[in-house]
């Protein structure tokens, strides 16, 4: 228990350094005064945040992949949208190769519209199309407006994707969906993910939508260490 507490405190401190630097970090340049590369493996190991559950609806990649990436995101966060458009497709190549597992966790720091979108993406996940729904919410590397994240718009998107709308609508408002999204958000908050995006890659924290090369280099290092 003390070990878990120690790594949580370590991540909180890492993320606090970023928050103290001001606004959310840009996707294409390191944050002035913030971390520019993954912390050394000898400093932190946050792999306890990985669930590695076969029935995780918000995950992709083998349960036993040598490296896991936990993503803390928000559907109203512009840097999350940009990261999803620019970096996520590059990492998906490693998912397809069986080298990486990605676990998605919505933190919803921007409020009720984000929470609705998170519930909608989970409802879509229950019909096996989480990533397709996710990609539409971040289409073109941009976020939707708050009105475009209303219940009516989210249900319309489900219909566009060919989902069972009646089932989607029920899942969108179900207590089970609310409980799961709340649990996921709490996980991020407990780890100190008060701003988005935030990541744990191979047990190491990465704060902000750093350039894609940062993630690819961190993945290569984690993969080499795992083999």
Residue 180 lies in a domain: yes
| pLDDT score for 37 | 47
CATH of the domain at 159: 3.40.30.10
Calpha distance 200→72 (Å, rounded)? 9
Residue 135 lies in a domain: yes
Question: Does the pLDDT value for residue 21 go beyond 50?
Answer: no
| pLDDT score for 194 | 85
Query: Which of the two residues, 185 and 17, has the higher pLDDT score?
Result: 185
Q: Which residues of 134-171 are buried (b: 16+ CB within 10 A; e: fewer)?
A: bbbbbeeeebbebeebeeebbbebbeebebeeeebbeb
Q: What's the whole-number mean pLDDT along residues 61-89?
A: 97
Q: Pairing state of beta strands 198-201 and 100-106? A: unpaired
Q: Which of 132, 106, 128 is nearest to 119 (CA)?
A: 106
Residue 4 lies in a domain: no
Lowest mean pLDDT among 91-95, 121-125, 194-198: 194-198
Residue 72 lies in a domain: yes
Query: Quick check: helix, strand or coil at residue 196?
Result: coil
Residue 119 lies in a domain: yes
Question: Does the pLDDT value for residue 2 go beyond 70?
Answer: no
- Name the residue range of residue 199's domain: 47-226
Residue 174 lies in a domain: yes
| Number of domains observed in the structure of the chain | 1
Residues 151-207: pLDDT tens digits?
999 999 999 999 999 999 999 999 999 999 999 999 998 988 889 999 999 999 999
Residue 221 lies in a domain: yes
| pLDDT score for 83 | 97
- Map tokens 């520019």 to a residue: 36
Residue 30 lies in a domain: no
Q: What is the pTM of this model?
A: 0.82
């Amino acid at each position: 228990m003390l070990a878990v507490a120690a790594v949580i405190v370590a991540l909180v401190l890492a993320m606090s350094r970023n928050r103290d630097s001001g606004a959310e970090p840009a996707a294409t340049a390191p944050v002035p005064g913030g971390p520019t590369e993954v912390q050394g493996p000898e400093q932190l190991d946050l792999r306890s945040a990985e669930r590695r559950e076969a029935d995780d609806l918000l995950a992709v990649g083998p349960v036993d992949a040598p490296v896991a990436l936990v993503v803390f995101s928000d559907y109203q966060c512009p840097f999350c949208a940009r990261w999803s458009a620019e970096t996520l497709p590059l990492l998906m190549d490693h998912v397809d190769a069986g080298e990486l597992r990605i676990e998605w966790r919505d933190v919803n720091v921007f409020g009720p519209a984000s929470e609705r979108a998170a519930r909608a993406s989970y409802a879509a996940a229950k019909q096996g199309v989480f990533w397709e729904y996710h990609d539409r919410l971040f289409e073109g590397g941009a976020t939707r407006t708050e009105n475009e994240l209303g219940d009516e718009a989210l249900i319309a998107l489900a219909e566009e994707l060919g989902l069972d709308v009646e089932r989607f609508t029920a899942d969108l408002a179900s207590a089970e969906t609310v409980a799961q999204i709340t649990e996921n958000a709490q996980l991020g908050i407990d780890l100190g993910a008060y701003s988005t995006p935030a990541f744990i890659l191979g047990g190491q924290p990465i704060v902000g939508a750093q350039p894609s090369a940062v993630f690819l280099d961190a993945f290569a290092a984690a993969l080499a260490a795992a083999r």
